[in-house]
Amino acid sequence: MSAPVDERLRRLRHELDDHARVAEHLGIDLERPLRSLDDGYPENAIALVGKITEKLLKQLWRHHEVAGDPSGRMLSELIKGCRPHIRSTTVLDALTDIQRLRNRSTHDGYEIAEEDGLLAVRRLVDVLAWFTSTASPALTGNDPRMQPEVARRVEFLAGLYLTLGYRVSKRFVLSTETVYQLFCRESGVRLEYVELLLSKDAAELRNVLETTGGELLKTRLPKLTRFVILDDAVEQLHPLLGHDYRIVGYEGFIDTVVDLQAHLASCATAAPEMPRERRPLPGALLTTDPHTGESRITETEDAEQLLTRLMQESANVLITGKPGSGKSTLLRALVNDTPATARRFRFYFDLSLKPKDEAFAEYVARMLAPCVPGERARAFDLFLYLIRSGSALCVLDAVDEAVDEPSPEGFLRLFADLASVLSAESCVVLSSRVSFLADSPQIRRLLDCSSAISEQLVEQMYANGVDPQRVPRFSMLRLTDTPADREPASDTGAAVLSTPLARRLQNALDIAGTPTVAELIGTHIDHALADAGLAHLAPALVDTCGRAFLEDRTVFPLLELHNALGPQAFDGGRITPEDFRLIPLFRPAGPQALAFIHSAYQELLAARYLSTPDGREQAAELPGAPYLTEQVRAFLAAHPTANAHPALAEDCVLHPGVYLVGPAERLLLRRVHHPIRFDRYPVTVARYRPFLQALRPDGTSPWDHPDQPPGTTHAPWTERLRAPDYYDDPRFDDHPAICVSWWAAYSFAAFEGKRLPTSLEWEAAARGTDGRLFPWGDTPDLDAVNCADTWAGRPLVTYQACKEEFDRGGLGHAWVTPVDARPANRSPYGIADMVGNVWEWTSTSVGDPDEAVICGGAFDNPLRAVQASAKGLFRRSRASNAVGFRCVTELSPTIGDDVKEDPQP
């Protein structure tokens, strides 16, 4: 039961008396809110607390020289402006509570009770306690006897112990360079004390001790921890101090509270078989076009040197790169090799090891707990205090693997969880895969702190608890693929990218030639199994760890590995990391858990799991959507078993089964239920001409869709055609039928006894069972496709580059070509000309029934937009030179030999 109001008021009055120095310095009457509560007016008490808080924050604003004049600003604006200079979570929460209570008290419809007034005063006491205890000169006035550097150190140490639950009992300024502090906190029924004697200079401290005779240090307080803190520890002071004092250097004092070296050793040490390689990594600095959202490379340099410079210029850096490109190696080197003088405190967290349902604060507390054995309950608060100190480096590796879904919304939810860490004072470095950001201009604008952030995104940020004004600016660094990174061409003529991961594995395994990353990882896994005498466990490893990745599980308790692989996987029946016989493939992920040494290992096992029809069927039945990354898809596309499509005769038949579809950032497994035969080519002018001859005089037909709007005609939109005689001149007979609406495409398909494919069927037929990027595979080939790059004669990497080429007239001659002009543009089932040349109508609508999905891209799109996953929306009643179609025939489950072959172009 809570104490009576009168008793609580008495306690609050007593606590406010401790802050008389602040009140006197700022001319504040701390008694007025209490008198209002005594008189029964809690709403007045809250209003007075709000005014006092505003005055405190305005003083803090001026002291830290925040841009702008604080006069006349609202409390919310003052809190935002001063937030970077308030390192205490307790103070920030208290300010938020005061703002909330004041907002409630000024709106009709809210009943303000005595409890609300008491809470407001209580939170004001929390704010005052912090600044009084840390001796902040902003609120207490400068102490003329204390040097500024000493004052900063005193404030930091006081804040540190307040964060750990202590309160200041005594503080004496012994000289301009020497300060005595005594802290205490309750520990059960006893009190714990910490005594600090801070001095800038050992000679100065000796003089102070000799002058005072050391009387201040003669105490008999129980359970006392005593420190002397100097720039350099001097053991010769012990005769004056006594041997119960620990003499430590100021820069190393934090080691008495948290063992950061142990944290880095446990979290950021590379596996022994993959030592850090000093070979330079090429990097590119990216900037974002505020109008298009496209990223442009503005500077290239060795990534390590570029990152070091960025850290000095910007508070936050985002590093992107493909799996195995060296992101983690670079970041581990950053936290392990950075001189302590550059960043006093360094943290490394691998977010790929964080369970999706675990909050970031809980994950940090769990990872830091072994390094702060006496303060486990306050591990995250301690971490947050050091981050807000302005002298910390925090590396958050693999942020894309911590996202619950790879979308702007999923990223914002993660961003909201990390918001407390993204301080404007300390340096935060994040890493992510390129594909995670490649197709999201909104996220790039967000990270670039651009004014072009959409209102929808701003609303989403507010909904996720992120203040857009608090979003720090990120410099974006991409690890690039440059000619220097590529080894000589292989026997197939293709250059093989030599990533840091590939180079390390190739050196460790002593493999000659130019193997792919998949081959290297596969060889390493096979060697580890063979060396352990466990080669027969390869299928079990795929079933356990490959499936686990699809379930979004990357951490394996030892007991799970024991149950899945059997006791033979452990020596002597001991279930410990040291006795696990496949330990060369893994790294520690907790006291009794392991993870693979690189995420690409588990992604390869996931690809092997998906390479069989049974594996894809089981994956499609997993609860929720299977976790599929671009690297899994790439490994699957390169897997020989996955390439063994059932339609080896190229009969254009898409068989029932599970297919990998969707863009890189949102890959999905979807099932096709019935077999269908695709037209080998898009419908041509020659095939469309008999349909035109069968139309009624008004342009309609007996095969029309029942919902077809009145007045619709299936005659081509001649005014739109670049060649008015397109449907009359025989030289266009083998060109695609274009400038026809969706209604016309539907009617034509019915005319031939067929139908339009769904967008799922179309994409599955283009990508096959391995989810390839293009119908012919994963390798871009400008000779195989009619797209804007073909007409420009060079790669158009971004839409902005494509627009610039169009504006200068470089795409003026781009148009459709014969459907059989590029034989390499062929899907695994023999279906030709699926990407580029023309978009193709499908029967699928999304949201608006007057729109239909079109697939494949066209002659006026850059290569990046004519992949097998490319989709768009187009009004059913519209027609274009860039939109055509093809038809499909439904087949019985048992496909007979009597099915008529599709006509040739």
pLDDT for res 481: 58
The Cα 809–Cα 281 span in angstroms is 38
Are 820 and 834 in contact, with CB atoms under 8 Å apart?
no
- Burial per residue of 498-507, b for 16 or more beta-carbon CB atoms within 10 angstroms, e otherwise: bbbbbbbbbe
Work out the pLDDT band at 272, boundaries 50, 70, 90: very low
In a domain, 630, yes or no: yes
Residue 711 sits in the same domain as residue 830:
yes
Work out the pLDDT band at 495, boundaries 50, 70, 90: very low
pLDDT for res 648: 47
In a domain, 738, yes or no: yes
Q: Taking residues 593-611, report their average pLDDT.
A: 93
pLDDT-above-70 percentage for the chain = 82
**What does the block give as tokens for 198?**
């801070």
Residue in this structure with the two tokens 């702008």, named with its chain if needed = 68
Length of the chain: 905
Residue 584 sits in the same domain as residue 540:
yes
Q: Taking residues 664-679, report their average pLDDT.
A: 92
Q: Read off the amino acid at residue 519.
A: E
CATH number of 704's domain? 3.90.1580.10
pTM higher than 0.85: no
Are 316 and 449 in contact, with CB atoms under 8 Å apart?
no
Q: Tell me: the pLDDT tens digits for 619-650? A: 999 988 898 988 899 999 988 765 555 544 47
**What does the block give as tokens for 609?**
């799991």
Are 139 and 56 in contact, with CB atoms under 8 Å apart?
yes
> Considering only 5-9, 342-346, 462-466, which range has the smallest mean pLDDT?
462-466
Residue 751 sits in the same domain as residue 815:
yes
Radius of gyration of the chain measured on its C-alpha atoms: 34
Number of folded domains that form the chain: 5
Residue 265 sits in the same domain as residue 245:
no
Residue 172 sits in the same domain as residue 311:
no
Residue 163 sits in the same domain as residue 102:
no
In a domain, 493, yes or no: no
Work out the pLDDT band at 240, boundaries 50, 70, 90: low
Higher pLDDT, 278 or 311: 311
> Considering only 70-79, 99-108, 601-610, which range has the smallest mean pLDDT?
99-108
Work out the pLDDT band at 774, boundaries 50, 70, 90: very high
Residue 625 sits in the same domain as residue 707:
no
Helices marked H in 430-576 = 434-438, 441-447, 455-463, 500-509, 517-531, 538-541, 547-550, 558-565
pLDDT for res 497: 46
Residue 632 sits in the same domain as residue 700:
no
In a domain, 183, yes or no: yes
Q: Give the helix/strand (H/E) hosting 500.
A: helix 500-509
Work out the pLDDT band at 897, boundaries 50, 70, 90: very low
Query: Which of 237, 254, 271 delimits the end of a domain?
Result: 254
Residue 796 sits in the same domain as residue 849:
yes
State the chain's maximal CA–CA distance in angstroms. 116
pLDDT for res 670: 95
pLDDT for res 3: 59
Q: Taking residues 432-447, report their average pLDDT.
A: 57
Beta bridge partners of 884: 840
CATH number of 469's domain? 3.40.50
> Considering only 370-379, 554-563, 564-573, which range has the smallest mean pLDDT?
370-379
In a domain, 518, yes or no: no
Work out the pLDDT band at 452, boundaries 50, 70, 90: very low
Residue 342 sits in the same domain as residue 476:
yes
Residue 718 has pLDDT above 80, yes or no: yes
Cross-sheet strand order for the sheet of 556-557: 556-557, 593-596, 586-588
Residue 673 has pLDDT above 50, yes or no: yes
Domain that holds residue 329: 260-480
In a domain, 591, yes or no: yes
In a domain, 892, yes or no: no
Work out the pLDDT band at 476, boundaries 50, 70, 90: confident
Phi, psi dihedral angles at 109 (to 5 degrees) = 100, -10
> Considering only 8-12, 48-52, 655-659, which range has the smallest mean pLDDT?
8-12
pLDDT for res 494: 37
The Cα 600–Cα 324 span in angstroms is 7
pLDDT for res 236: 60
pLDDT for res 652: 93
What is the pLDDT of the chain when averaged over all its residues?
Answer: 82
Query: Which of 449, 464, 480 delimits the end of a domain?
Result: 480
pLDDT for res 491: 34
pLDDT-above-90 percentage for the chain = 36
Q: Taking residues 165-192, report their average pLDDT.
A: 85
Query: Which of 67, 100, 131 delimits the end of a domain?
Result: 131
Residue 431 sits in the same domain as residue 358:
yes
- Burial per residue of 402-425, b for 16 or more beta-carbon CB atoms within 10 angstroms, e otherwise: bbebbebebbbbbbbbbbbbbbee
Residue 277 sits in the same domain as residue 243:
no
Work out the pLDDT band at 245, boundaries 50, 70, 90: confident
In a domain, 805, yes or no: yes
406, 858, 859 from 834: Cα distances, Å: 27, 10, 12
Work out the pLDDT band at 528, boundaries 50, 70, 90: very high
